[in-house]
Structure 1
Amino acid sequence: MKNLIFFITALINTLTVSAQDFQGMAVYESKTSTADFQNRMQGNRDITPEMQKMFEERMKKAFEKTFILNFNKSESIYKEEEKLEAPGQNQGGFRMMTSMMGGGGTFYKNVKTKSYAVDKEFMGKEFLVKDSLKTIKWEMSGDSKQIGGYTCYKATAVLPASKSDLRNFRPRRQEEDEKKKAEEAKKKADSEKKTNLMDEVELAKEITITAWFAPEIPVSQGPESYWGLPGLILEVSDGKTVILCSKVVLNSKDKVEIKAPKKGKEISQAEYDDVVVKKMEEFRQNGGPGGPGGRRMN
């Protein structure tokens, strides 16, 4: 009997240590459709073919990224893969665009404490956004498919659109375009005013998320702020942006330290959203990145 109790105790201790040491790494490819923006540009007489080509090239860089997720049973860090950029790239308004495309900084999640922290650089100022993880009300469909050899199951949810994420902006509806043009017709024409693409878009109120998770990887983690499913999320889409896992490594000998970022001015998500919205409004009023709104923040 003593030997049996000893064996059971040792087994429990071994499983506990194993769970504590469990760690994995996943590589994700993120792509966002730019078709709507490109169509609007083609119909804009103020944009030359050369400007359109340059814009499309930079949009592709900003909207196609590779991320690494390192995770254990309760924590994770999600970070964009570092790439060496050519001189002159990612400047001005495109620097702001990149910081609003889910890239930059380290996104830390703790599903045990239901908290997150992410360090962001926006307009030359460093922020440390810290807040509580929002509970996502996932609905299971029972559908399944294979992703990288893992059987994944489908779940959907409707979430409020983040005000500070450029991917949540959509082309304005036709009736709103006509109303806006009528208002602008009443104003004095300014021949030197620069083309402002921010006038062409609006923020979606909510987005529908479709996720595919793998129960074989028993962690409630996923890319960006996604979590709360009984298995690692290997694919997630909001209709415009698709984040797809291309590689998974479990329990590698090389462990990665998973810890929350600490650099930057501490701020809540709502406060950070307000900062971004105000700066975007400055950009809109001043004709885009070339106007006074493109200066560094104080």
Structure 2
Amino acid sequence: MKSVSLLIFMLLGFAATAQKTSGEISYERVKTWSRINNRMTFLSKEEKERAATTWANNDEQKQDFVLLFNEKQSYYSYPAKEDLSEGGYSWQKDEYKIYRDFEKEKRTDIIAMLGKTYILEDSLKVPKWKVMNKIKEIAGYMCMMAVTEDTTKGQKITAWFADNIPVSAGPELYSGLPGLILELDINEGDVVITAKEVKMREVKDEEMALPKKMKGKKLDTLKYEQLVAEHIRDSMKAHRNPYWSMPY
């Protein structure tokens, strides 16, 4: 009888562990244009006025995203199915699909920017995170704070990760922490991506499989960073916001 009870206890423990390494997370991404524009001292008066007019009634741009994950890989993009707008239309969004293969330490990103679609394929290099002595609750999970920097874009990155979901995944291009990232803050509130709901379920590899056909210009991490840096430099010289045509 004792051996049967022990077996049941072990199976329940295994199921709980497995459950915490596979699931689906719904995020809300909030971009505040006024904060972004105010940060850019190089913008011309005309550019600032254009931005103020464009975003006068919609300063906060909100978008939904979904992260699928298991121990081996993750996939981050827009929800597969979205509700139609009030007028019955579904707006087409720019291509943005982020794949991570933790077993093979490989990244594949399909990103539309600068008028083209780029396919970024390379080895997975995680940021140099510094874990801080701060915690807060997000979507029912206690999370620890970690910080790093995007040196290409000059952005301060703050992540809040749940170490009791032991998967090194996260939203956007960020991963590499000893727990799943449930909130990502870019430049102290310019953009904040927060988990709204965490569903622990079995996620099959097929749900996160790469498309059989990928159309776009291929680059590696170095070429991608050079492209971004060059675009930012050109935009600064022209006194315009580089993020009109590129993810912030």
TM-score, length-normalised on structure 2?
0.69
User: In the TM superposition, what are the counterparts of 1:39-50 in structure 2 within 5 Å?
Assistant: 46=46
Once the two structures are TM-superposed, the CA of residue 234 in structure 1 deviates from its matched residue by: 0.6
Once the two structures are TM-superposed, the CA of residue 286 in structure 1 deviates from its matched residue by: 8.1
Query: In structure 2, how many angstroms separate the alpha carbons of the residues matched to 1:266 and 1:220?
Result: 25
1:70 touches 1:256 (CA, 8 Å); kept in 2?
no
Alignment CA distance shift 1:285-1:136 (3 Å) = closer
Q: Indicate the structure (1 or 2) with the bigger Cα radius of gyration.
A: 1
Q: Equivalent residue of 1:35, what SS? A: helix
The one-letter amino acid paired with 1:245 is A
TM-score, length-normalised on structure 1?
0.59
Query: In structure 1, how many angstroms separate the alpha carbons of the residues matched to 2:112 and 2:203?
Result: 33
2:34 touches 2:52 (CA, 8 Å); kept in 1?
no
User: In the TM superposition, what are the counterparts of 1:83-94 in structure 2 within 5 Å?
Assistant: none
Once the two structures are TM-superposed, the CA of residue 159 in structure 1 deviates from its matched residue by: 3.5
Match of 1:270 in 2: 222
1:127 touches 1:263 (CA, 8 Å); kept in 2?
no
Structure with the bigger percentage of strand: 2
Query: In structure 1, how many angstroms separate the alpha carbons of the residues matched to 2:63 and 2:127?
Result: 25
Query: In structure 2, how many angstroms separate the alpha carbons of the residues matched to 1:242 and 1:134?
Result: 23
The one-letter amino acid paired with 1:228 is G
Structure with the bigger percentage of helix: 1
Match of 2:65 in 1: 67
RMSD: 4.4
Mean Cα displacement is larger for which, 151-160 or 246-255?
Answer: 246-255
Alignment partner of 1:216 out of 134, 143, 164: 164
Percent of residue pairs bearing the same amino acid type: 27
2:65 touches 2:76 (CA, 8 Å); kept in 1?
yes
Alignment CA distance shift 1:24-1:256 (3 Å) = farther
2:23 touches 2:199 (CA, 8 Å); kept in 1?
yes
Match of 2:75 in 1: 77
Query: In structure 2, how many angstroms separate the alpha carbons of the residues matched to 1:149 and 1:245?
Result: 10
Where has structure 1 moved over 4 Å in runs of 4 or more? 18-22, 38-41, 43-49, 51-54, 57-61, 82-86, 252-256, 273-289
Equivalenced residues, count:
225
User: In the TM superposition, what are the counterparts of 1:13-24 in structure 2 within 5 Å?
Assistant: 15=14, 19=18, 23-24=22-23
Q: Any unmatched runs of 5+ in structure 1?
A: 162-167, 169-203
2:44 touches 2:239 (CA, 8 Å); kept in 1?
no
Q: Equivalent residue of 1:257, what SS? A: helix
Match of 1:171 in 2: none
- The answer to whether structure 1 residue 116 and structure 2 residue 114 are counterparts is no
2:126 touches 2:174 (CA, 8 Å); kept in 1?
no
User: In the TM superposition, what are the counterparts of 1:168-247 in structure 2 within 5 Å?
Assistant: 168=153, 204=154, 207-238=155-186, 239=188, 240-247=190-197
Match of 1:132 in 2: 123
